[in-house]
Amino acid sequence: MQTINFGEHFTLDGYGGDEGKLNDEALVLNCLNELPEKLGMKKLGEPVVYLALENDEKDPGGWSGFVVIAESHISIHTFPKRGFVSADVYTCKNGMNTKFIGEYFTEKFGLKDIETNFIKRGTKYPTENKY
């Protein structure tokens, strides 16, 4: 059976971010509200953002947010005291604009450096229904 690539998963870890921006619940929510449209994706529901309290020496707490999109999901986790943000954009579409996403998060959170990974998902995804 022939297969196609199911989708793409982009991860971004941002360093040296602005503590105030990383600790801004409204900014995290705004990113989750506007980024799907900017990427040509459709939200299936409203994003949610939670305050994640400090839970050990490695995790000093911050904001965690998530939005489910028709194409999959986008998540953001901030760590203001560390100047760090971790984000995922996962989609069943192909051709994700990773340069735009990197620039978007860099600008929104005042990042000094980013580290990214790009994964092709479902490389054995069937081209036809099996059942």
Predicted pLDDT at 56: 79
CA distances from 66 to 7, 16, 127 (A): 19, 22, 30
Tell me whether residue 75 is one of the annotated catalytic residues: no
Tell me whether residue 72 is one of the annotated catalytic residues: yes
Q: Is the pLDDT of residue 2 over 60?
A: no
Find the mean pLDDT for residues 64-86.
97
Assigned token pair, 79? 């760590």
The neighbour count for residue 31, using CB atoms within 10 Å, is 24
The whole-angstrom separation of Cα 37 and Cα 91 is 13
Predicted pLDDT at 54: 83
The dihedral built from the CA positions of residue 54, 105, 24 and 9, taken in this order, carries a sign that is negative
Query: Active-site residue among 31, 73, 77, 86?
Result: 77
pTM tops 0.95, yes or no: no
Query: Active-site residue among 64, 75, 86, 92?
Result: 92
Predicted pLDDT at 59: 79
In words, the CATH class of domain 3-52+60-126 is alpha beta
The whole-angstrom separation of Cα 28 and Cα 61 is 14
Domain segments of the chain: what residues? 3-52+60-126
Predicted pLDDT at 3: 54
Helix locations, the chain, DSSP H: 19-22, 25-38, 98-109
Find the mean pLDDT for residues 51-77.
92
The whole-angstrom separation of Cα 29 and Cα 46 is 9
Percent of the chain with pLDDT over 70: 98
Tell me whether residue 64 is one of the annotated catalytic residues: no
The pLDDT tens digits for 20-44 are 999 999 999 999 999 999 999 999 9
Q: Is the pLDDT of residue 18 over 80?
A: yes
